[in-house]
Amino acid sequence: MKRQEEPEVQRGAVDVRQLPTTVFGHRDPLWWGTMGFVAIEGTTLFIAVASYFYLWRNTGTWPPQHTLRPSLLWPTISLAVLLLSNIPIRFLARAARRLDAGAVKRWLVVATVLSFAFLFLRWQDLLSLNVRWDTNAYGSIAWLTVGLHATLLVANAGEFAVFTALFHSSRRTERHLGDAVDASVYWHFMTGIWAPLYAVVYLGPYLI
Amino acid sequence: MSAAVSPSEVVTDADRRARDELAHSWKDAPGFWGWLTTVDHKRVGKRYIVTAFIFFLLGGIDAALIRLQLARPENGLLGPDAYNQVFTMHGSTMMFLFAVPIMMAMGIYFVPLMIGARNVAFPRLNAYGYWVYLIGGTLLYVGFFTNTGPDTGWFSYVPLAGPDYSPGKRVDLWAQTVTFTEISALITAVELIVTIFKHRAPGMTLNRMPLFVWAELITAFMVLFAMPWVATASLFLASDRLIGTHFFNPAEGGDALLWQHLFWFFGHPEVYIIFVPSLGMISQIVATFTGRQVFGYTAIVLANIAQGFMAFGLWVHHMFATTVPQLGSSFFTATSAMIAIPSGVQIFCWIATIWAGRPRLRVPFLFVLGFFVIFVIGGLSGVMVASVPFDTQVHDSFFVVAHLHYVLLGAVFPLFGAFYYWFPKITGRLLSERMGRWQVALFFTGVNVAFFPMHFLGLDGMPRRVYTYLPETGWGPLNLVATVGAVTIACSVALFLVNVVRSLRNGELAPDDPWGGDTLEWATTSPPPPYAFVHLPVVEGRGALWSRTEARPSVTGLRTDSREALVTTLVDALPDSRFHHPDPTIDPFLTAIATGAIFIALIFTPWGLPLGGILLLVTLTAWAWPTKKEHAKQVKQEAEVLP
């Protein structure tokens, strides 16, 4: 026997046997889990920015004297790449929603390549700060803000690498398509939140 | 008759078969391996509760040492260095290792049962959270027993806790313990939110949810937005100490006050994170022991939510003695006084419930009555210290120690009440009522004798965190009284332990519902089976059991040969999809070990991050990769979806 048999009296029973097992977006518990982690990570990055402004008012100039401003070339390129990467991720999510596993597999490869490209770009972002973390508090908070976001990128690259491998293996099931949609939502958060962080860390020092 | 919800109601052959299959599908491996790999929220919740209670005992021993040292002037029991470690361990243990974990743990155990679910939303993550917490707590005590106990207070202010004034590894151990416990609390918060949002029994709309579940939900949201502050602060502190950053170093543009802001932005909500679940426990206990629904359900929920929001607008009242602008201080005085309003609303709702009901003076209810007195005293001294001129007079004095203990022990009263209330559900045996009454009396007396004199000591100028004082100060007699109170509390807790041990051995056997409660945990056996309910219940009114009609509807059609759960909609709890829960696995344990390796290595070298990171990647990959068996089950489940 696979399912519970009908109770003897049907009155008031709620039969759920026809409900689907693969659902997307807010119908999926995993989507809510992803949202929870978005809230945690968003709060953490907000704290980094709040601390950035708190420390800013401690010095007459920002960055402090004898400290170079950040270079803008690489960070601007990486911002553009991060934001544009949402286009293929959108295709990935759409393919997952229409249960097209073949297309999901292809877009996952693209996403994984992109997520590893982010790591190279992030290294350039850090070098472009033109200050060490132990030079002064400005350097500390700039490194920490960019570094915290980098940990999301690293985790994301790891996740997509494993995910891509899983989709190319025999252990994939339909349920994983829902996971792909959740991963794409996280991708939107991760790349979108970089825009204000970029503005604060890289453009902020040019404002005064 | 309809399909059975509790295994004890099973009479038909169909139900019997369902029960047996469920028992097989949801069982753990036998022995130690099963203990290590379980993902059952009840087993994980139980070990969370037991572990947190052991930390409560350890923190209590720290407290006893403090009180013995201060019992008379110029006492030589503890030297200044040992005393600094002991009071830091006491505060850190009680806040990080006992209070928050145990309140979340009660949620882990009871929320799924109270909402009619078979397990939490992410059972493996749940198990991982516990192991990370255990590693963090053990780390702190290993440090303490090897003379590396933190010694800068539970809030570890810089510059004292910075690299210049606290060389060595003591503060680093503290910072990493905080990180461990925050990871675990955050995970549990996400877990509870999603469980409550998506796994409620059909019919349990949001406005029918038990008040304890509401309290846990609000607490989980507070954790989500409060814990990252202390996690980030401890990251700043650890990196100042390890890799030479300057977050808190004024010479290089850093700021010591930044620490206080970050810490208290977490630290104040923390008080409510401890307190709000205990309010939920009170609501359940008051309802059960007065035999009526709590008066003002909506008002209580709204008051709880208001507390959740307001708790984030109070943090600066911990910093009135610093250079906060006057306007800022006035704002925080106003908000600090304002939070008395939602607290008052709840107290009046409970009083109205008791007034209109028929109170049964059983031990859980007696603890709630004790809470009313303790909490009102703590609340009143709270309104006093909300005023800047008064606060600057008593800041860092024993008056504050008295206030915070009244408030926090105010939360421990309902917790003990909840232990008595739910012990039969967890263990299948009732605690002794007679010993319980003695415990309430001793605890209530002890708390008042220990902490009430501290108000006067503070007003008389006795500062916190001094390891001794001179006889000429005249503080000796009241300190001795306080120590007698502490000993009384210790006796009360010892009595509780005796009661637990005796009841486990030969306590009275508990039926499904020993108190005549209204919530769904009483609709299954004591203790509940791993699958919780034979058929998931369907809720027909705000009182899940009291408003149950004769039809006693339940859910049919869920698989019994695998771990299938029901997903319902967020607001109305309409059945929406089926969800496959994972089987027991070692992966959470291994991932927690990898996490532990990273953070412990980071105390000594920044290379801990990349090296531990690789280890973590390996364990997480194993976690994400379905086993052959799981894969087969999932394929089978998906193949059966009807078009």
- SS3 string, B489-537, reads HHHHHHHHHHHHHHHHHHCCECCCCCCCCCCHHHHCCCCCCCCCCCCCE
pLDDT in tens, B485-536: 999 999 999 999 999 999 999 999 999 999 999 999 999 999 999 999 999 9
pLDDT in tens, A10-28: 446 889 988 998 899 999 9
Each domain of chain A, given as residue ranges in start order, spans 72-207
CB B136 within 8 A of CB B184: yes
Mean pLDDT of chain B: 94
Cβ distance A134 to B631 less than 8 Å, yes or no, reads no
- Within its chain, how far is the Cα of B17 from the centroid? 38
Strand partners of residue B397: B463
B-contacting residues in A 71-90 (Cβ below 8 Å): none
Would you say residue B156 has pLDDT above 50? Answer: yes
Would you say residue B643 has pLDDT above 50? Answer: no
Rounded Cα–Cα distance for residues B176 and B179 (Å): 5
pLDDT in tens, A50-91: 999 999 988 878 899 899 999 999 999 999 999 999 999 999
Neighbours of B191 (CB within 10 A): 26
Rounded Cα–Cα distance for residues B572 and B580 (Å): 22
CA quadruple B91, B371, B367, B544: dihedral positive or negative?
A: negative
Residue B555 parent element (H or E): strand B555-556
Rounded Cα–Cα distance for residues B236 and B300 (Å): 38
Query: Residue B630 — pLDDT band, cuts 50, 70, 90?
Result: confident
Cβ distance A4 to B625 less than 8 Å, yes or no, reads no
Would you say residue B288 has pLDDT above 90? Answer: yes
Would you say residue B165 has pLDDT above 70? Answer: yes
CA distances in angstroms from B150 to B68, B70, B91, B300, B442, listed in the order given: 20, 20, 11, 40, 32
pLDDT at B326: 83
pLDDT in tens, A156-178: 999 999 999 999 998 888 888 98
Rounded Cα–Cα distance for residues A63 and A60 (Å): 9
Shortest Cα distance, chain B CAs vs residue A8, angstroms: 7
Would you say residue B133 has pLDDT above 80? Answer: yes
CB A70 within 8 A of CB A128: yes
B-contacting residues in A 14-73 (Cβ below 8 Å): 14-23, 26-29, 32-33, 36-37, 39-40, 43-44, 47-48, 51, 54-55, 58-59, 64
- Identify the residue among A28, A41, A47 best suited for mutation to test binding to B, counting B beta carbons within 10 A and taking the highest: A47
CB B181 within 8 A of CB B109: no
Q: CB-CB: which of B122, B556, B634 is closest to A173?
A: B634
pLDDT in tens, B50-80: 999 999 999 999 999 999 999 999 999 999 9
Over residues B444-451, the mean pLDDT reads 98
The residues, any chain, with a CB within 8 Å of residue B348's CB and separated by 6 or more, are B296
pLDDT at B327: 85
Would you say residue A5 has pLDDT above 70? Answer: no
Architecture of domain A72-207: Up-down Bundle (1.20)
Q: What is the ipTM for the molecules in this complex? A: 0.93
Neighbours of B396 (CB within 10 A): 12
Q: How many residues does chain A have?
A: 208
Please tell me which residue of chain A has the smallest CA distance to B559. A3
pLDDT at A2: 47
Burial of B571 (0-12, 13-18, 19+ CB in 10 A): exposed
**B100-114 vs B41-70: helix axis angle to the nearest 10?**
150
Over residues B346-351, the mean pLDDT reads 95
pLDDT in tens, B213-251: 999 999 999 999 999 999 999 999 999 999 999 999 999
The residues, any chain, with a CB within 8 Å of residue B179's CB and separated by 6 or more, are B136, B231, B234, B235, B238, B599
Rounded Cα–Cα distance for residues B45 and A203 (Å): 48
Cβ distance B2 to A47 less than 8 Å, yes or no, reads no
Cis preceding-peptide flag for B389 (omega within 30 of 0): no
pLDDT in tens, A176-194: 898 899 999 999 999 999 9
CA distances in angstroms from B232 to A48, B179, B269, B413, B498, listed in the order given: 8, 9, 16, 32, 41
Rounded Cα–Cα distance for residues B243 and B234 (Å): 14
CB B563 within 8 A of CB B28: no
Q: Among residues of chain A, what percentage have pLDDT more than 90?
A: 78
B-contacting residues in A 157-186 (Cβ below 8 Å): 158, 162-163, 166, 170-171, 173-175
Token output for A148: 């915290």
